[in-house]
Chain A
Amino acid sequence: MEGAEAAVRMRDITKTFGPIVANDRVWLDIFRGEILALLGENGSGKTTLMNMLSGIYYPDAGHIHVDGREVSIRSPRDAYKLGIGMIHQHFKLVDVLTAAENIILGMPGKGRLDLRAVGERIRRICSLYGFDVDPQRKVYDMSVSQKQTVEIVKVLFRGADILILDEPTAVLTPQETDRLFAVLRNMRDDGKAVVIITHKLYEVEELSDRVAILRRGQFVGDMPTKNTNAGEMTNMMVGRPVSLNIERPEPHSPKPRIVAEGLTVRDIDGVTKLSGLSFTANSGEILGIAGISGCGQKELLESIAGLQPVESGSIVYLDPESGEEIQLIGKDPRAISALGVALSFVPEDRLGMGLVGNMDLTDNMMLRSFRRGSSVFADRKAPKSLAERVVGELGVNTPGVDTPVRRLSGGNVQKVLVGREIASAPTVLMTAYAVRGLDINASYTIYDLINRQKEKGVAVIFVGEDLDVLLALCDRILVLCGGKLSGIVPGRGANKREVGMMMTRLGGEAEK
């Protein structure tokens, strides 16, 4: 790209939030006709940097040039005027409106709204890049990947030719990811500048032309993707060599710990979320749960934890010491967690469950332990030392244990949550999306923690979204499809395509 005029040139961009320096004199060039991967660990300032380009934040210092002209981007509207559009991790769509209505929402216009012309233009954009969107469809009827498509079309409709996508694949199945990548390549070939924020190396390698790496808010370097490899990128990202293999110790003497039979669950609206699900989770084993998001993973874990009323079926817990069979259905969450069944569910909004955003680390550690003892006063000493231990062991990036959790970055919040659940010394450890949005370093720390639990004889149920990880970490993988059991495959030797197929269709029959 030597000599070509950069579409965007960011120079010496600095942004601080209170005492935290999110971006420290960052340089970045974005070119047209190129897909740039912005790579970095959690809290390395990728999203912050791009938010300044899309008008969400305003830099404290530094210069931004678009097409060679120095600009000041004060709001998303300014960004659109410059042709910059960002697709955020959390979609910003109105559920009850149609795709077309969402797309034109907030755009200036005169007089009567001509939705037919809008629909026509949307179709034209779609056919140009290979999207599949029905403009008349309501958003609440859409799958996650369709919603994401609407977001992308929304940005294109506003004339953006510099597109920024913040971790676009986090919510997609492998097949959907492939489709998205194809669309992004079409856009690149059309001369648009595309930036994807990611921490997944294989995405960088598969998709991008150039990769720029941030570490702790600083720009480490950029290079053409073909001139580098996963090892080098990881080293630049983390700052030291990291091994990229997930270990999978052989389970020793697995015994049934949780036996579920004919589990059927309906939500409040009467929609069946799980139907007739039967499986066994063994001690000393990691049982992976694969499935497209919203296929009953949450309901499955919550019914074991006693948070979800069960319509029919049984969940039996076999006590490791006495061998006693205990029916979990009908027990309240407190009684179940007293048996040693721990649930660490990382919901999409991270803070919605399991943690209290406005409370500090110590008080959040207390959530599990505060009932101990007969005193009316709550003990804060033990939780405080636990918080300090978790901060130390998992490398939580925080000013201190008395910082409110909501001030931490997403990855650090997760470390706190997972660290606390593991510290409760469970006999069954359920984690959902434990590494969602976590960087490589933190992810491996968590895999390691889970493996240690497995070796201790804990029955681990691991709901994941990254198939590569599920295949590398789990001993057995249970595949859900629309709340039904699509199959259970052994983790060793399983095929990614095959599992992906089982996720979309019961039993995974071949595509027609």
Chain B
Amino acid sequence: MNRKATEPFVRIVKRDGLPLWHSWLIRLAALALALAVCAAVIFAIVRLNPLRVYGAMWQGAFGSAKRGWITLRDTMMLLCIGVGLAPAFKMRFWNIGAEGQILVGGLATAACMIYFGSAIPTWALLLLTFAVSAAAGAVWGVLPAFFKARYGTNETLFTLMMNYVAIQLTAFFVAKWENPFGSNTVGIINQTHKSGWFPAVFGQQYLLNALLVLALTVFVFIYLRYTKHGYETAVVGESERTARYIGIDVRRVIIRTMLLSGAICGLAGFTAVAGASHTISTSTAGGRGFTAIIVAWLARFNTFVMILTAALLVFLEKGAIQIATQYNLNDYASQMITGIILFFILGSEFFINYRLIFRGKKEAD
């Protein structure tokens, strides 16, 4: 009997202890493969030179100093949300309500700018908005946490629903603060005296955003990895029963962690309003609360790795917009490219954890 014929065609074997460089090699290979597949798709559909398309994407993200700064600003915004999600996700609390937490943070910022804009100096106003927006986000985050801790409600649905409440609330205030009358927008707040705007640092308008977000990134990294609180969060996430068994107050940890998570997402709203758009609308969050979930997961909740993943996603977005306008393609073509690249990067995780053994191959390596 032919043994080869009866062996399964392919087997999946778990890998253990893969060296770090090896796993990064696999990720790089995945990226290269993704670009190759994209090139084939681009050529097959629109008959364009793929290299020039990639060049255009690069142009879109870094083509000029201004574009570079905007890419940086948006990366920081996305990173901020991802960093905010990290503590919640580490606790296996599926906070998909970042969208709402950003909006209420932004609303709080806008309110402070509108009502105190001419009354107090900008530095005091910035401190005030910082605190108020963090508090607003924290409230939005802690509500679902409280109900989860107390009554065991499902946090996924709850946080999702809170998004819609936040959107309606924003719509209400946009109508209230309408300026000029009849425009149905808030317009640029404090356009003349720039009160409550992030000041330029070293002449760069968006440097303060970056510094604030990077500080948060470092803070959350240390909080999760080295503090007692962070340890408790991880234990609750891994096994609630074990946590209870060793006397961790699970309810308190859930509430505390979501206060932090919501507060950072609220601060993302703060940077979006005071540091970037200087206005507020129902699309201030613009789906980034959801995109940040990908950022956080791709980085395995490591906030430093999130810098990379956030940059990648923003780069893809900027590049997509550029090729859409430059080559008169519609948005879908560029979204396909983003989709293909994400597919390969996520798929590479499988090959990092498992390997395939094909029929007839012996375990030599």
Interface residues of A (CB under 8 A from B): 16-20, 58, 60-61, 63, 69-72, 74, 307, 332-334, 337, 343, 345, 351-359, 363, 366-368, 370-371, 375-378, 399, 407
Contact = CB atoms under 8 A, between A and B. Distances in A.
A377 B239 contact: no
Given A18-B15, A69-B1, A357 B244 contact: no
A267 B355 CA distance: 46
**Residue from the set A345, A353, A363, A375 with the largest chain B CB neighbour count within 10 Å:** A353
Contacts of A69: 1
A376 B227 contact: yes
B8 A367 contact: no
B16 A17 contact: yes
A16 B13 CA distance: 10
The 8 closest A-B pairs by CB, nearest first: A18-B16, A334-B247, A72-B6, A333-B247, A356-B238, A378-B228, A367-B246, A60-B363
A352 B238 CA distance: 10
Contacts of B227: 376-378
Interface stretch (B76-84, B132-140, B229-237): B229-237
Given A72-B7, A357-B239, A19 B17 contact: yes
A359 B7 CA distance: 36
B238 A358 contact: yes
Contacts of A378: 226-228, 230-231
Interface string B8-21: 10010011110000
Contact of A70 (B1, B231, B234): B1
B242 A353 contact: yes
A88 to B, nearest CB: 20
A438 to B, nearest CB: 21
B16 to A, nearest CB: 3
B245 interface: yes
Contacts of A407: 16
13 contacts: A17-B16, A18-B14, A60-B363, A74-B8, A333-B245, A352-B239, A353-B239, A353-B245, A354-B245, A359-B238, A363-B234, A367-B242, A376-B227
B117 to A, nearest CB: 37
Contacts of A63: 3
B362 interface: yes
Contacts of A72: 3, 6-8
A363 B238 CA distance: 12
Interface residues of B, number: 29
Contacts of A399: 17
Contacts of B15: 18
A307 B126 CA distance: 47
Interface in B236-277: 238-239, 241-242, 244-247
A71 B6 contact: yes
Contacts of A367: 235, 242, 246
Contacts of A61: 362-363
Nearest to A306: B247
Given A17-B16, A370-B231, 13 more contacts: A19-B17, A61-B362, A63-B3, A69-B1, A70-B1, A71-B6, A307-B245, A352-B239, A353-B245, A354-B242, A363-B231, A377-B226, A378-B226
Contact of A368 (B229, B232, B246): B246
A18 B8 CA distance: 20
Nearest to A302: B245
Given A16-B363, A19-B16, A61-B363, A377 B228 contact: yes
Interface string B200-229: 000000000000000000000000001111
Contacts of B231: 363, 366, 370, 378
Contacts of B16: 17-20, 407
A17 B17 CA distance: 11
A20 B16 CA distance: 9
B237 to A, nearest CB: 9
Contacts of B11: 58
A441 to B, nearest CB: 25
A249 B242 CA distance: 34
Interface in B67-99: none
Contacts of A332: 247
B356 to A, nearest CB: 13
Contacts of A370: 228, 231-232
Nearest to B231: A378
A58 B14 CA distance: 13
A414 B3 CA distance: 41
B55 to A, nearest CB: 43
A375 B1 CA distance: 68
A18 B245 contact: no
Contacts of B362: 61
Contact of A333 (B232, B234, B246): B246
Contacts of A355: 242
Contacts of B238: 356-359
Contacts of A70: 1, 3
A241 B242 CA distance: 38
A370 B235 CA distance: 12
A342 to B, nearest CB: 11
Contacts of A60: 363
Nearest to B2: A70
A357 B241 CA distance: 12
Nearest to B244: A307
Nearest to A58: B11
Nearest to B246: A367
Contacts of B228: 370-371, 375-378
A61 B364 CA distance: 11
A370 B239 CA distance: 17
A454 B217 CA distance: 50
B87 to A, nearest CB: 15
A219 B230 CA distance: 46
Nearest to A71: B6
A18 B246 CA distance: 32
